Structure 1
Amino acid sequence: MNYQYPLDETWTKEEIIDVVNFFSLMEKAYEGKVKKQNVLALYNRLKEIIPSKSEEKKVFAAFERDSGYSSYKVVKKARETKDEMFSM
């Protein structure tokens, strides 16, 4: 990993940890399998930290630009799949 996660300096330590966990799971979805329920749970937590849809889009775009991984596509697949485990 030669990039940084898009983090906001105003977030609390707990919020930063939760956002890092979310993006780490996005990476795992592309590199292996992840549990649907974990993706949705961490996404719901991310929405508590970043309630604004426009801000979420900015953070997702920054992560995708730096990593090549689309958080939007992972969350979308988690919502649509009937399987408990999936990968990208």
Structure 2
Amino acid sequence: MSYHYPFDESWSKQEIIDVVQFFNLIENAYEKQVRRDDVLAAYNRFKSIVPAKSEEKTYFATFEKASGYKCYPVVKQARNTEGKFIKMK
């Protein structure tokens, strides 16, 4: 990994850690597999830090540009599946 996770420097240390963990789960959904419940919990925490949809889209686009991984399809699959694990193709 030769890129940085997007975050706001005004966030607390814990908020930065939580957002980085969310983006790490997105990576793992493409590279390995992740627990559906972990994705939903991390996304809910992300939304408590970044409540505005426009800001969310900006962070998702920045992350996709840096990593090549799309966040929304992972969150969508987590919401729409009954399985315990998510693996993106």
Deviations along 1:37-83, one digit per CA (max 9) or x if unpaired, are 00000000000000000000000000001100011110001001111
Q: Does 1:64 align with 2:64?
A: yes
Q: Unaligned regions of 5+ residues in structure 2, if any?
A: none
Q: Match for residue 16 of structure 1?
A: 16
Q: Match for residue 38 of structure 1?
A: 38
| Root mean square deviation, CA, Å | 0.5
What TM-score does the superposition give when structure 2 sets the normalisation length? 0.97
Q: Distance in 1 between matches of 2:13 and 2:50?
A: 15
Q: Distance in 1 between matches of 2:7 and 2:25?
A: 16
Q: Distance in 1 between matches of 2:86 and 2:24?
A: 15
Query: Which one-letter code corresponds to 1:29 in the other structure?
Result: A
- The count of residues paired between Structure 1 and Structure 2 equals 88
Percentage of pairs with the same residue: 58
Q: Distance in 1 between matches of 2:66 and 2:16?
A: 18
Q: Match for residue 74 of structure 1?
A: 74
What TM-score does the superposition give when structure 1 sets the normalisation length? 0.98
Q: Distance in 2 between matches of 1:14 and 1:30?
A: 25
